[in-house]
């Protein structure tokens, strides 16, 4: 996601203040301890130094106050080596030793010295507890994230202890550095909620965590808040749109992209194509085509064969075939592929231009496109063109005249195309069915005409007989229906010969 690109180095950035925070907390405790030791206060029973130990420790304090930690380390090493030290002496010496070691950047040894101070057993519970907090902070600074964070969390669970803002920051830093994002999240949310004023880094952190923990709902909410604060940041809009789409809220994502486009915020080809795809997806192919054509003309989207095909397809989906065909002609000429010429032929076919469609399919076949599919489409177009011709009439036409009618000629033209489908093609079976259908169609016409002619002849035979029957009363033969005159000779040859024979 674009908005996360700023967070790639987030782990390194949030650790920048670890040592500073740890050191500040530590020295506030150590300076207090050293000051109390230097004063002539009455010590509690069991919490006092022997004169020998006290002299050495006092010398170490002087070196520390004079900003000479290395000299202090030497004195404290002498002190800790004295025999028969009581627990209190050991704890204080180790604690001072840890402070001096920290000053000379020997942090790992300082941590061990502080742990020795606790283990010596001479500290009060509150003192030991505070020292554990400092150890946890130093461990985080040393890269021991899990151990340090857990020590701070355990410290916070003890009665009377409260994890405050500096420790919250350290816990966030530690768990993120360890990529333990689920353990970082509650501390990060507290860090965010307590921040006043909230800065970009607070929002970026939650955005980073929600993204990595797969919580798109919360991430969309935080990104929306960020948009309200930094509306000019397009990466936030992109992130919000992606979150909406990935969360099954595609319609809202579309509205976001549409708003950005209409506002002029989208200028890259990928962004503009995404808008085109959205319009197409939501059954607005004409609007999608208009946007695509506009941006292609503006030079923001490349006018290559693929984009021309896409534009033509969108106009075809919108049934704007007259707009689609010229674009597809350009695409076919530009690419020179058989497939695009076949697409052009299909577009022309849909427009009802069989002549140009056939030329396009012929060109597609010369460029290696499937001959079976091509001839099937050519034949279908020819047949549909034949269907536009008037229906053959039986009346006053001969069989030869009907066979030569414009409709039947076009029908036979279509049949020839169906017969051109190669026998190896998967389309051959359908082509044969079409040939059989056209033959049956022609036969049905002739059967109809023969039936109509038979009905008319039988009716005229009745009228001719009636005319002969009336001849005895009228004194002459009168046939009122002139259409029946054509059947009189046949009637006479069948029936009047027999009458004449009977008379004889």
Q: Mind listing the pLDDT tens digit for each residue in 218-265?
A: 888 888 888 888 877 877 777 777 777 666 677 777 777 777 677 676
Q: List the domains of the chain with CATH numbers.
A: 268-369 (1.25.40.10), 387-503 (no CATH)
Mean pLDDT on 87-101? 94
Confidence of residue 190 (pLDDT cuts 50, 70, 90): very high
* pLDDT for 68 beyond 90: yes
pLDDT score at 129: 92
Confidence of residue 89 (pLDDT cuts 50, 70, 90): very high
pLDDT score at 46: 66
Percent of the chain with pLDDT over 70: 88
pLDDT score at 44: 59
- H or E segment and range at residue 5: none
Query: Which tops the pLDDT comparison, 8 or 257?
Result: 257
pLDDT score at 194: 93
* pLDDT for 206 beyond 90: yes
Confidence of residue 500 (pLDDT cuts 50, 70, 90): low
Tell me how far CA of residue 253 lies from CA of 12, 15, 42, 65, 470, in angstroms.
Answer: 33, 36, 73, 64, 91
pLDDT score at 10: 34
- The answer to whether 47 touches 89, Cβ cutoff 8 Å, is no
- H or E segment and range at residue 200: helix 200-212
Residue 166's contacts (CB-CB under 8 Å, 6 or more residues apart) are: 21, 24, 25
Mean pLDDT on 48-61? 90
Helices 145-157 & 125-141, crossing angle to 10 degrees?
Answer: 150
- Least-confidence region, from 41-50, 140-149, 166-175: 41-50
- Least-confidence region, from 107-121, 139-153, 418-432, 458-472: 458-472
The span from the CA of 444 to the CA of 396, in Å, is 18
Confidence of residue 202 (pLDDT cuts 50, 70, 90): very high
pLDDT score at 165: 92
Mean pLDDT on 446-474? 78
Query: Which tops the pLDDT comparison, 298 or 395?
Result: 298
């Amino acid at each position: 996601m674009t908005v996360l690109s700023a967070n790639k180095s987030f782990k390194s950035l949030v650790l920048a203040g670890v040592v500073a925070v740890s050191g500040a907390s530590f020295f506030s405790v150590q300076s207090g301890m050293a000051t109390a030791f230097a004063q002539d206060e009455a010590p509690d029973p069991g919490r006092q130094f022997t004169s020998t130990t006290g002299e050495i420790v006092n010398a170490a304090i002087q070196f520390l106050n004079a900003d000479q930690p290395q000299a202090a380390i030497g004195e404290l090493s002498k002190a800790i080596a004295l025999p028969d030290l009581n627990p209190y002496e050991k704890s204080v010496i180790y604690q001072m030793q840890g402070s001096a070691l920290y000053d000379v950047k020997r942090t790992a040894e300082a941590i061990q010295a502080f742990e020795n101070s606790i283990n010596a057993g001479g500290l009060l519970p509150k003192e030991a507890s505070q020292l554990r907090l400092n150890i946890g902070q130093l461990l985080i600074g040393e890269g021991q994230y899990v151990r340090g964070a857990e020590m701070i969390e355990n410290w916070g669970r003890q009665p009377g202890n409260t994890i405050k803002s500096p420790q919250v920051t350290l816990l966030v830093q530690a768990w993120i550095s360890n990529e333990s994002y689920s353990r970082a999240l509650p501390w990060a949310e507290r860090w965010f909620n307590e921040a006043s004023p909230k800065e970009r880094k607070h929002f970026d952190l939650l955005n980073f965590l929600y993204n990595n923990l797969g919580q798109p709902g919360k991430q969309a909410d935080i990104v929306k808040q960020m948009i309200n604060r930094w509306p000019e940041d397009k990466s936030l809009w992109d992130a919000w749109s992606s979150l909406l789409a990935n969360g099954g809220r595609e319609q809202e994502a579309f509205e976001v992209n549409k708003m950005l486009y209409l506002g002029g915020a989208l200028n890259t080809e990928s962004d503009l194509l995404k808008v085109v795809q959205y319009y197409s997806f939501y059954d607005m192919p004409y609007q999608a085509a208009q946007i695509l054509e506009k941006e292609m003309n503006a030079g923001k989207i490349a006018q290559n064969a693929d984009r021309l095909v896409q534009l033509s397809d969108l106009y075809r989906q919108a049934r704007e075939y007259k707009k689609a065909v010229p674009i597809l002609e350009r695409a076919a000429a530009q690419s020179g592929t058989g497939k695009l010429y076949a697409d052009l032929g299909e577009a022309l076919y849909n427009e009802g231009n069989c002549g140009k469609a056939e030329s396009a399919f012929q060109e597609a076949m010369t460029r290696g496109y499937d001959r079976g599919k091509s001839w099937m489409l050519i034949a279908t177009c020819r047949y549909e063109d034949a269907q536009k011709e008037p229906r053959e009439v039986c009346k006053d036409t001969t069989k030869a005249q009907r066979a030569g009618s414009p409709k039947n000629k076009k029908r036979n033209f279509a049949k020839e195309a169906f017969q051109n489908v190669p026998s190896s093609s998967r389309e051959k079976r359908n082509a044969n069915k079409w040939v059989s259908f056209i033959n049956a169609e022609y036969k049905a016409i002739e059967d109809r005409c023969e039936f109509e002619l038979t009905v008319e002849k039988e009716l005229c035979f009745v009228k001719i007989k009636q005319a002969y029957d009336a001849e005895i009363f009228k004194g002459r033969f009168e046939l009122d229906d002139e259409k029946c005159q054509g059947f009189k000779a046949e009637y006479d040859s069948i029936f009047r010969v027999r009458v004449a024979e009977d008379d004889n």
